[in-house]
Amino acid sequence: MPEIRIIPFTPEYAGELGQLHWQVWEETYRGLIPDAYLDTFTPEKWTEKARRDTLSSFLLFEDGELAGFASCSDPARESVPVPEASEIVAFYLLRKFQGQGLAGALMRHCLDFCTCPNVVLYVLEGNEKAAGFYRHMGFEPTGRIQLDHTPYGTLRDLEMVCRRKRKEN
């Protein structure tokens, strides 16, 4: 049985996280977003972002290998229109680790971390595999779309929310 570990991100993991972030974007978004836009991202850019990021991020390891990560904002960023919401800002798992229950473990960790009764995330339109997983984990589409205007075209992110009972203190 593999050893699964979820730990808070700390700066010494920035390089490893940058490489993973670049790889999951290549695996996930190649063919869904313009190649020219995807090509502007490098492991070094993602490493620098990890060093600067102020979100609460969690790293998922399987048998000592970094398999995925998630970043949360609790409460959600000001741009999120859902009231009383936390936000899962990033949620990624390398393809070779998908379908083994690891994503569910990481999502449960994020949901336990988030303190608000609503948890929001955004999924790129066309990323049906991710949207299906989020529905399986209790998220429902709100019908709202967030537009991300890039020099290479506009990306459309579908808003999803998991509505929970308020946590008791």
State the CATH number of the domain containing residue 92. 3.40.630.30
- How far is the C-alpha of 7 from the C-alpha of 13, rounded, in Å? 11
Q: Is residue 169 part of a domain?
A: no
Residue range 16-63, pLDDT digits in tens: 999 999 999 999 999 999 999 999 999 999 999 999 988 999 999 999
Residue 74 near residue 54, CB atoms below 8 Å: no
DSSP 53: -
pLDDT tens digits for range 132-161: 999 999 999 999 999 999 999 999 999 999
Tell me which amino acid residue 23 is: Q
Cβ-Cβ contacts under 8 Å for 70 (sequence gap 6 or more): 57, 58, 60, 88, 90, 91, 92, 106, 107, 109, 110
Domain count, the chain: 1
Question: For residue 19, is it within any domain?
Answer: yes
pLDDT reading at 169 higher than 80: no
- pLDDT (tens digit per residue) in 91-109: 999 999 999 999 999 999 9
Closest among 134, 127, 136 to 161, alpha carbons compared: 134
The DSSP 8-state label assigned to residue 104 in this structure reads: H
**Residue 9 tokens, joined:** 């991100």
Residue 168 is predicted with a pLDDT of 57
The answer to whether position 23 is within a domain reads yes
Structural domain harbouring 132? 4-163
Distance (Å, rounded) from C-alpha 97 to C-alpha 67? Answer: 6
